[in-house]
Amino acid sequence: MPNEREMIVIPKSLIKDNPNDFALGSKVREYYYNNYEDQSEPPNQWVCKYCGRDTSDIEYDYLQGTDHLECILKTNL
| 9-28 pLDDT per residue, tens | 889 998 898 888 888 888 88
Is pTM beyond 0.75? Reply is no
| 21-76 pLDDT per residue, tens | 888 888 888 888 888 876 555 567 889 999 999 998 899 999 999 999 999 999 98
> Would you tell me how many other CB atoms lie within 10 Å of the CB of residue 3?
4
Give the list of residues 6+ apart from residue 73 with CB closer than 8 angstroms, or none. none
> Would you tell me how many other CB atoms lie within 10 Å of the CB of residue 16?
9
Give the list of residues 6+ apart from residue 15 with CB closer than 8 angstroms, or none. 24
CA distances from 34 to 27, 42, 46, 61, 72 (A): 10, 8, 19, 31, 34
